[in-house]
């Protein structure tokens, strides 16, 4: 919930004004809600009225919704969508790593793509990751580095508190700029892809809803405080990535921290992508699919795919924006609300049905707006 997207939140406030602060709170509430209804779809009541976990993955939920007409279609759609988003996320971390290295060592005569290859070499041990426990340790380190970055930026901002002014906030906003802000804010909260696995691995799954409430609450508070203090410090000069606004003596430190964070963030989406790949490939439980050599080759192939796309796909940022508008909105808003309505319709109160339908409509318009903006950007580049 506190990914690299957080560094773009001050820039989002620049283009959304006061409404941006409201959006940060609204996005936290909506993403928390869709996370809960998604996990609710994993459970069914038994004869005694007790909730039993009858499904394990996002794919299982999709297949349960489509079993009458197309038993496997829902799972295929979800798996393809998840794989696209996870692979794109992995590639983003490689692109960011190359960019950060080139800015940290400008005197070294090496291209940005070559730096991405160097970053890729440090990620080769990911092929040996077999359990979520290893990923969780790396994610803990990632969180620590992230808080160091936030602390450095906010400390600097607080030293400039004498020049803060609420007059820097916009009242009138441009529609297209506002849509960009919506995308940045909403997708800084997305975690639905990981939730079924996370809930299934919890020591006490009964505490899941409480955990989701607190994490989204603290994420919302931290995002709001960070975005607000950074925007009030730099105002109209706020850059897309807020660390670019820092003085040079702090930029080098923060860039190295960001590089460490990007590299430590890579294993989580990579592990999730490999788990989906294994689940799809080994459905027949054939012995060769469970061999260590085969598992190693699958992980190695996915790892290499992320490097090749980083090296050879032009205008990757725009393509990622287009993909994210489709997959991000689908996995975060559209599918959880749709599946919840389908599986729990008879047990839902009228207010709950209205809430699900509202979230679905909102997700549809967010996705549509993001697609239009991304396609427009691609046409401008190629035009």
Model confidence pLDDT, tens digit, residues 98-124: 888 887 788 888 888 899 899 999 999
* More confident call, 291 vs 356: 356
Task: Tell me, rounded to whole angstroms, the distance of Cα 105 from its chain centroid.
Answer: 28
pLDDT band at residue 286 using 50, 70 and 90 as cut-offs? very low
Q: State residue 284's pLDDT score.
A: 53
Mean pLDDT of the chain: 84
| Total Cβ atoms within 10 A of residue 366 | 21
Q: How many CA atoms lie within 13 A of 227 on its CB side?
A: 34
Model confidence pLDDT, tens digit, residues 149-169: 888 999 999 999 988 888 777
Q: State residue 321's pLDDT score.
A: 62
Contacting residues for 226 by C-beta, under 8 A, at least 6 apart: 6, 9, 10, 150, 153, 154
Gap between the Cα atoms of 274 and 306, Å rounded: 12
What's the domain count of the chain? 1
Return the residue matching tokens 């598992």. Answer: 295
Q: State residue 337's pLDDT score.
A: 94
- Most confident by average pLDDT, 89-103, 128-142, 347-361: 347-361
Phi, psi of 52 (to 5 degrees): -120, 135
Decide if 289 contacts 112 (C-beta within 8 A). no
Model confidence pLDDT, tens digit, residues 47-62: 887 889 998 888 888 8
In this prediction the pTM is 0.82
Q: At what angle do helices 335-344 and 18-40 cross, to 10 degrees?
A: 40
Gap between the Cα atoms of 74 and 240, Å rounded: 37
Q: Is the pLDDT of residue 204 over 70?
A: yes
Q: Which domain holds residue 131?
A: 4-283+291-382
Pick the closest to residue 340 from 76, 70, 30, 64 (CA basis). Answer: 64
Pick the closest to residue 129 from 260, 274, 262 (CA basis). Answer: 274
Q: What is the CATH number of the domain that holds 171?
A: 1.20.1740.10
Model confidence pLDDT, tens digit, residues 293-349: 888 888 999 999 999 988 887 666 566 666 666 777 788 888 899 999 999 998 899
Q: Is the pLDDT of residue 267 over 60?
A: yes
Q: Sign of the C-alpha dihedral, residues 255, 261, 267, 272?
A: negative
Q: What is the mean pLDDT of residues 6-26?
A: 85
Phi, psi of 43 (to 5 degrees): -115, 150
């Amino acid at each position: 919930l506190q990914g690299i997207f957080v560094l773009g939140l001050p820039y989002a406030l620049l283009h959304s004004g006061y409404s941006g602060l409201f959006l940060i709170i609204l996005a936290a509430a909506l993403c928390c809600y869709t996370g809960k209804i998604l996990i609710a779809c994993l459970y069914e009541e038994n004869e005694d009225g007790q909730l039993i976990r009858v499904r394990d993955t996002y794919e299982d939920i999709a297949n349960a919704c489509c079993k009458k007409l197309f038993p496997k279609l829902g799972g295929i759609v979800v798996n393809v969508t998840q794989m696209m988003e996870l692979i794109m996320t992995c590639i983003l971390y490689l692109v960011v790593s190359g960019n950060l290295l080139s800015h940290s060592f400008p005197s070294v005569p090496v291209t940005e793509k070559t730096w991405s290859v160097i970053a890729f070499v440090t990620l080769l041990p990911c092929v040996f990751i077999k359990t979520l426990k290893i990923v969780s340790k790396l994610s803990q380190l990632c969180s620590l580095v992230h808080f160091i970055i936030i602390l450095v930026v906010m400390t600097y901002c607080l030293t400039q508190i004498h020049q803060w002014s609420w007059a820097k906030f916009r009242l009138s906003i441009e529609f297209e700029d506002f849509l960009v802000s919506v995308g940045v804010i909403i997708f800084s909260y997305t975690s639905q892809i990981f939730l079924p696995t996370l809930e299934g691995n919890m020591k006490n799954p009964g505490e899941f809803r409480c955990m989701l409430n607190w994490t989204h609450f603290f994420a919302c508070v931290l995002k709001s405080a960070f975005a607000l203090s950074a925007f009030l410090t730099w105002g109209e000069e706020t850059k897309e990535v807020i660390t670019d606004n820092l003085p040079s003596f702090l930029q080098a430190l923060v860039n190295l921290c960001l590089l460490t964070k990007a590299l430590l963030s890579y294993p989580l989406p990579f592990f999730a992508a490999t788990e989906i790949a294994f689940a799809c490939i080994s459905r027949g439980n054939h012995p060769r699919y469970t061999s260590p050599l085969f598992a190693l080759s699958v992980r190695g192939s996915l790892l290499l795919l992320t490097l090749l796309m980083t090296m050879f796909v032009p205008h990757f940022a725009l393509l990622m924006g287009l993909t994210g508008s489709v997959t991000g909105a689908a996995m975060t808003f559209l599918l959880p609300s749709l599946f919840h309505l389908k599986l729990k319709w008879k047990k839902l109160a009228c207010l709950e049905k209205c809430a699900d339908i509202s979230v679905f409509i909102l997700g549809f318009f967010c996705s549509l707006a993001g697609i239009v903006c991304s396609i427009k950007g691609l046409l401008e580049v190629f035009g």
